Amino acid sequence: MDIRLLQTPIVYLKGVGPNRAQTLQSELGIGTYQDLLNLFPNRYIDKTQYYKIGGLQRSNADVQIIGKIINIKTVEQKRGKRLVATFVDETGQMELVWFRGQKWIRENLQLNTPYVIFGRCNWYNGMYSMPHPEMELLSEHEKGLKVSMQPVYPSTEKLSAKGITNRVINKLMQQLFMETKGRFSESLSPHLLQELKLLSKKEAVFNIHFPKNQKLLAKAQFRLKFEELFFIQLQLISKKLLRKQKIKGYNFDKVGPLFNEFYANHLPFELTDAQKRVVKEIRADLGSNAQMNRLLQGDVGSGKTIVAVMTMLLAIDNGFQACLMAPTEILATQHYNSIRQLLEGTGVSCSLLTGSVKQSARKPIHEQLENGELRILIGTHALLEDKVKFNNLGLAIVDEQHRFGVAQRSKLWHKNDIPPHILVMTATPIPRTLAMSLYGDLDISVIDELPPGRKPIKTVHRYDSNRLKVFQFLRDEIKKGRQIYIVYPLIQESEALDYKDLMDGYESIARDFPLPAYQISIVHGKMKPADKDYEMERFVKGETQIMVATTVIEVGVNVPNASVMIIESAERFGLSQLHQLRGRVGRGAAQSFCILMTGHKLSSEAKTRLETMVRTNDGFEIAEVDLKLRGPGDLMGTQQSGILNLKIADLVKDNDILKTARYYALKILKDDPALEHPENQTIRHTYARLMKHKTIWNYIS
Ligand code: ADP
Ligand code: MG
């Protein structure tokens, strides 16, 4: 059918009008016919069954009943008015209740006329009641399109307040199918349809909105989910292929003296097999003539730093400079310190550039960077400033990627004519399914093995009421010479309260761990950087035994002697944050502990998080649970949420479909990268259209 018809503004659909059009736009983002068509139901209700009031069960979910209203009245209550109707059939009576929209309902409902009602029943005051039932006159109901499966569309409070109920959406959908005659053109190739036995586009779209039966619904869902994931994968993979073909990279073909000398004489420990494998993968990239764009995943403590150093040495051996960018000053400084230590005796020059480096100290850095004397620059966002000019940047390493916006990452690209090789390191394990979608255009390496000899951290959950015991445990650990972190939540929305908690906590700890026997550091975001550094330093040097902090210590801090991590109000932290915090301990030889403190009142989700933390130290397993609990959008933080605004597929539940989609996208692009073969024409057209209308999800740039 004419594609342009689907681009018609929704206001022109019969039954919409300017008011509804505006509400549809603001509440559901529906601006065109196409958008409405792509409003997929959240769930379906089987309305083939009719219940009798006398036969209702207390646990009945959604039910459909035929009966009449015999009486309607307004009931005043302290908490407000409600409208209550008595609804009867030949087996009994029940109540229908409205809290909102009472005037409209009162004016429009007809007494003693058969209705079909639908909704969830509650058992209340010795009677069944149904709040805000869906209602339809029996006579209308019998006239209506006979669908056995009733779709339930996403809704909002405002939509229902404005009378755009599920039934209205359903009607609009019918209207849309009438106006377009349901002739939607095919978007996948005949080959794919055949091989995967997919429904045609037309059948799929019809059955997603008006399913004839369960089986057709399932097939429709599969087809549309596949399609959605397929075109995303097509985009990601073709980007990657394009990059490999077109974006020339510096060729680091030499494995030179620095790398070899370092490998032979400077390695402070033997690399784990995982580290060796990753270095090999990186070396293959660097010598391939194409630009490297690789994501290096490795749990906290898995040893990413040394991999970064060896990669930088490869760059320097080939005559290039390298930089490493970290999200916070603390982290950048720590990288700088540990990398300088690793490089000792190699003669490689290395500087630190952060926001707090003084202007006078910056000048020589800028100069040496530009004339090429300086080989390695480590720092924060300060590296991205225009004043920072490299002589020949060949490699950029970005640590803790999820904290940087995409735009920042691509800014590194434009520091040179030929883009430097990029290695993104993250300690936040990303479940494979998510990685495939979010970073499908990157190559991925994983360090899935911890250095030998680590004792797994013991994690326990303790209630606030057991605090005294916990404190006694802390005294014992301190007596053994260990150091302790105590972390408080700090959430933007409740910042003032959280600071109070932190300060109260600090005071009570200061009372229980008095001077001079105990020394306590405190670090939080409201302190001046200099004060923060001072307190941090004292803890790093072992002058203080306890570090009270907010999550500023989440990333990067490395104090091997710290062996206990106490997390206060642990129920308020997300899983990945808990895991990151726990990673601050377990870095030395001693047995380490993580104690999750909470009150007694816990949501079931919080319980799952705590149980998961107690059960496992495996970051990937934790990430999988997190993904299931929170969904992919939240998982990546607000910065990137919305990236995964999938319309119908679900990255967690539709893992298998995702794999299938990726498999076929890969296969098709391998044989036909530009989609030129006649059999791929449909796919090419659909893809071009999706790109043009930006309906394809704007992933990583
Ligand atoms: P990450 O950055 O991945 O969290 P680091 O690179 O900071 O981890 O390494 C954590 C600690 O483990 C460091 O003290 C480091 O020296 C040590 N380490 C790294 N690799 C090994 C190894 N192969 N054998 C022994 N210790 C290692
Ligand atoms: Mg690190």
Question: How many beta carbons lie within 10 A of that of residue 384, not counting itself?
Answer: 17
Minimal-distance CA residue to ligand 1 atom 14? 587
What's residue 467's pLDDT? 93
What's residue 530's pLDDT? 86
Decide if pLDDT at 416 tops 70.
Answer: no
d(CA 45, CA 501): 47
Sheet architecture: strand order including 350-353 = 350-353, 376-379, 321-325, 393-399, 421-426, 293-298, 443-447
Q: Cα 552–556–562 angle (5° rounding)?
A: 85
Q: Which ligand is in closest contact with the Cα of 296?
A: 1
Q: Which two tokens stand for residue 6?
A: 């689907």
Decide if pLDDT at 603 tops 70.
Answer: yes
Fold matches, 257-447 and 458-616: yes
C-alpha dist (Å) from residue 446 to 274, 310, 372, 449, 620? 8, 16, 32, 9, 11
Give tens-digit pLDDT for 338-352.
Answer: 999 999 999 999 999
Task: Please give the number of the atom of ligand 1 that sits closest to the Cα of 453.
Answer: 25
Q: Mean pLDDT lowest for which of 60-74, 105-119, 599-613?
A: 60-74
Minimal-distance CA residue to ligand 1 atom 23? 271
Q: What is the mean pLDDT of residues 513-532?
A: 89
What's residue 232's pLDDT? 87
Q: Using pLDDT thresholds of 50, 70 and 90, give the confidence band for residue 428.
A: confident
Q: Cα(340) to centroid of ligand 1, in Å?
A: 15
What's residue 250's pLDDT? 85
Q: Cα(304) to centroid of ligand 2, in Å?
A: 6
Average pLDDT, the chain: 86
State phi, psi for 177 to the nearest 5 degrees. Answer: -65, -35
Decide if pLDDT at 406 tops 90.
Answer: no
Residue with tokens 């030129």: 676
Peptide bond into 516 cis (omega under 30): yes
Minimal-distance CA residue to ligand 1 atom 11? 301
C-alpha dist (Å) from residue 140 to 70, 116, 156? 20, 9, 26
- Among 302, 334, 344, name the best residue to mutate to test ligand 1's pocket (greatest count of ligand atoms within 8 A of Cβ): 302
DSSP letters for 430-471: --HHHHHHHSTTSEEEEE--PPTTPPPPEEEEEEGGGHHHHH
From 309, 355, 239, select the one nearest 666 (Cα to Cα). 239
Task: Please give the number of the atom of ligand 1 that sits closest to the Cα of 272.
Answer: 23
Q: Using pLDDT thresholds of 50, 70 and 90, give the confidence band for residue 84.
A: very high
Q: Which residues pair with 94 in a beta bridge?
A: 87
Give tens-digit pLDDT for 560-587.
Answer: 899 999 999 999 998 988 998 998 898 8
CA atoms 225, 226, 230, 231: torsion sign: negative
What's residue 564's pLDDT? 97
d(CA 318, CA 323): 15
Give tens-digit pLDDT for 211-252.
Answer: 887 788 889 999 999 999 999 889 888 887 877 776 778 888
d(CA 147, CA 76): 39
Q: Mean pLDDT lowest for which of 481-485, 547-551, 592-596, 679-683?
A: 547-551
Q: Cα(300) to centroid of ligand 2, in Å?
A: 7
Q: What is the mean pLDDT of residues 616-639?
A: 70
> Which CATH number, 1.10.10.10, 3.40.50.300, 3.20.20.140, 3.40.50.9100, labels domain 458-616?
3.40.50.300
C-alpha dist (Å) from residue 110 to 19, 72, 556? 27, 10, 67
Q: Using pLDDT thresholds of 50, 70 and 90, give the confidence band for residue 490.
A: confident
Q: Cα(594) to centroid of ligand 1, in Å?
A: 20
d(CA 83, CA 75): 6
Q: Mean pLDDT lowest for which of 311-315, 408-412, 609-613, 621-625?
A: 408-412
Minimal-distance CA residue to ligand 1 atom 18? 303
d(CA 170, CA 157): 17
Higher pLDDT, 96 or 577: 96
Minimal-distance CA residue to ligand 1 atom 26? 451
Write out the H or E segment, with its range, that includes residue 547: strand 546-549
Minimal-distance CA residue to ligand 1 atom 10? 301
> Which CATH number, 3.40.50.300, 2.40.50.140, 3.90.79.10, 3.40.50.720, labels domain 49-146?
2.40.50.140
**Backbone torsion region of residue 447, taken as left when φ is above 0, otherwise alpha when ψ lies between -120 and 50, otherwise beta:** beta
Give tens-digit pLDDT for 502-519.
Answer: 999 999 999 999 999 999
Decide if pLDDT at 636 tops 80.
Answer: no
From 417, 447, 202, 204, select the one nearest 305 (Cα to Cα). 447
Q: Cα(644) to centroid of ligand 2, in Å?
A: 27
What's residue 487's pLDDT? 95
Decide if pLDDT at 482 tops 70.
Answer: yes
Q: Is the pTM of this model over 0.75?
A: no
Contacts of 317 (CB under 8 A, 6+ apart): 252, 254, 255, 256, 257, 258, 259
Give tens-digit pLDDT for 163-220.
Answer: 899 989 999 999 999 999 888 889 999 999 999 999 999 999 999 999 887 788 889 9
Q: Which residues pair with 379 in a beta bridge?
A: 325, 353
Task: Please give the number of the atom of ligand 1 that sits closest to the Cα of 560.
Answer: 14
Q: Which two tokens stand for residue 637?
A: 């933080």
What's residue 121's pLDDT? 84
Decide if pLDDT at 606 tops 60.
Answer: yes
Q: Cα(449) to centroid of ligand 1, in Å?
A: 11
Higher pLDDT, 552 or 39: 39
Q: What is the mean pLDDT of residues 3-8?
A: 82
Domain segments of the chain: what residues?
Answer: 3-44+157-213, 49-146, 224-247+653-692, 257-447, 458-616
Give tens-digit pLDDT for 29-77.
Answer: 999 999 999 999 988 876 777 889 998 876 556 788 999 999 999 998 7
The binding-site residues of ligand 1, defined as CB within 6 angstroms of any ligand atom, are 269, 271-272, 275, 298, 300-306, 427, 451, 587
> Taking a C-beta distance cutoff of 8 angstroms, is the pair 385, 365 a contact?
no
257-447 CATH fold: Rossmann fold (3.40.50)
CA atoms 278, 283, 289, 292: torsion sign: positive
What's residue 244's pLDDT? 74
Please provide the size of the chain in residues: 701
- Among 305, 445, 592, name the best residue to mutate to test ligand 1's pocket (greatest count of ligand atoms within 8 A of Cβ): 305
Q: Which ligand is in closest contact with the Cα of 276?
A: 1
What's residue 125's pLDDT? 76
d(CA 451, CA 301): 8
What's residue 586's pLDDT? 87
Pinpoint the alpha helices (H) of 396-431. Answer: 406-413
Q: Using pLDDT thresholds of 50, 70 and 90, give the confidence band for residue 402.
A: low
